[in-house]
Amino acid sequence: METMKKTALSYIDQAAAFFTELSDEIWGCAELSLKEFKSTALYVEKLKELGFTVTENLGGIKTSFCGSFGSGRPVIGILGEFDALDGLSQKAGCTEPDPLVPGGSGHGCGHNLLGAGSLAAAAAVKKYLEATGKPGTVIFYGCPGEEGGAGKAFLAREGVWKALDAAVSWHPGSANQVTSGSNTSSIQVLYNYKGIAAHAAGNPHIGRSALDAVELMNIGVQFLREHMTSDCRIHYAVTDAGGISPNVVQSRASVLYMVRANRVADAVGLLKRVDKIAEGAALMTDTTYERVFIDGTADVLPNYTLEKLLFANMEAVELPSYTAEDQALAEALKKTYPSSGIKGLDVCSDEAVREQIIAMSNNGQKAINDFLCPHFSCEEHFPGSTDVGDVSWLTPTAQISAVCWPSGVPGHSWQIVACGKSPLAHKGMLYAAKVMAGAVIDLLNDPETLAAARAEFEKRSASGYVCPIEPDAVPIAL
């Protein structure tokens, strides 16, 4: 490894306390999507302390910001998230469910680590730019509302990602691997129906039922399901049934729809058909309705060139080693959930690679997957959605996963919150930071790889980005 690059990466070890303390503080904030005000203030303060030029209120979102350093091209973005999940409050290090704040929120997706690790990577790249005087700009993005709100998709609509030459990110997980493949596009719309309340026995002819409209809409969509491509999914939740009195004609009722397709353009098309059914339900029941766009995310465009670069850095950076305490925590947590297979296989349809991972994980028995999964790139669409997809349609983008919790732990769980402040989690975060910083430094020095990543991106995105965020939509904190 080049000496200057090595020095920049060693900064992450030297400043480890700074970034782990930040992660722990964000863990304590545990703020929900688009309400991350304390976390944002903390990041802005830290970015300034580190010498970044800060832009607040990025894209008009109050909890969105970025910090940049350097000048000229290439311009590389490192994405950070920092929102938490409702109802997942849990005491750190405690290996049985025990909320810190009953009913409170918690970092059940590890975004406390995600943001702080990405900032550490950006800070190391800044050190490199300062030491070498090379041209290039690194930007850390504080991306709000990943769990709900699709912050990055709203920023995409505002043109934020187009300016980048490439972007990298990571997600805490239970396997060290490059994240390949794609996710589904997903769009959410709320339909609020209004009718006329009336005595259900005495004056039913006067009443107009909003609940009937919701039921008819659901039936209409049920028939639509037969006539869509097999990659599509339509989910719904009745968020307001209009009350608990059957002897009242319900004058209000609401249903929240989530429409998915492999490709964002198809999801947008499918949503138009759902809209027609919504209108039909209003016509049938003589009610009115208000359509509220909530959020949407595009599918992810993989970038094999960047994936290869990230893997090379995953190999070059030393993997964390674990103490008896790390092992004990992982073992104790692993006992609290049923085994759900070997993580790292979920993005791997290659039989040979699967065999290797099975062997390395000791057939899924290891509590900590202390190894690097073999490199594997693929085109498959995996269930679930991420707003990283919207970044990937506008600039070459790739991500990794790093071990921050025990093998097979369920996503969005109290176990993840319990682990979120542990040395086990910190080690994964610092590893991910070094890998991302290493890859960005390589991109600063290697215009050919950057050009190859761009050429691959142009090919994959040739059909053009269809932004799932509607022109007049505003981010809504649910």
How far is 193 from 211, CA to CA, in rounded Å?
8
Residue 399 CB, nearest approach to Zn ion (Å): 11
Q: Does 410 sit behind a cis peptide bond, omega within 30 degrees of 0 on the bond before it?
A: no
Q: What are phi and psi of 397, to 5 degrees?
A: -140, 140
Q: Please list every residue from 87 through 126 that binds Zn ion, using CB under 5 A.
A: 109
Closer Cβ to Zn ion, 404 or 443, answer by number: 404
Task: With beta carbons less than 8 A apart as the criterion, state whether 377 and 368 touch.
Answer: no
Query: 3-state class of 294 per DSSP?
Result: strand
Residues that contact Zn ion, how many (by CB under 5 A): 1
Closer Cβ to Zn ion, 109 or 403, answer by number: 109
Closer Cβ to Zn ion, 109 or 430, answer by number: 109
Residue 183 CB, nearest approach to Zn ion (Å): 12
Residue 85 CB, nearest approach to Zn ion (Å): 7
Residue 109 CB, nearest approach to Zn ion (Å): 3
Residue 114 CB, nearest approach to Zn ion (Å): 7
How far is 88 from 431, CA to CA, in rounded Å?
26
Would you give the distance in Å from CA 206 to the centre of its chain?
48
Closer Cβ to Zn ion, 140 or 170, answer by number: 170
Residue 111 CB, nearest approach to Zn ion (Å): 6
Amino acid at residue number 427: K
Burial class (CB in 10 A: 0-12, 13-18, 19+), 49: exposed
Strands (DSSP E) contained in 72-154 are: 75-81, 136-143
How far is 409 from 407, CA to CA, in rounded Å?
6
Residue nearest to Zn ion (CB): 109
Closer Cβ to Zn ion, 209 or 407, answer by number: 407
Residue 110 CB, nearest approach to Zn ion (Å): 7
Closer Cβ to Zn ion, 109 or 139, answer by number: 109
Per-residue exposure over 143-158, b if at least 16 CB sit within 10 Å of its own CB, e if not: bbbbbbbbbbbbbbbe
Rg of the chain's alpha carbons, rounded to an integer?
24
Closer Cβ to Zn ion, 216 or 400, answer by number: 400
* Residues at the contact surface with Zn ion, assessed by CB under 5 A: 109
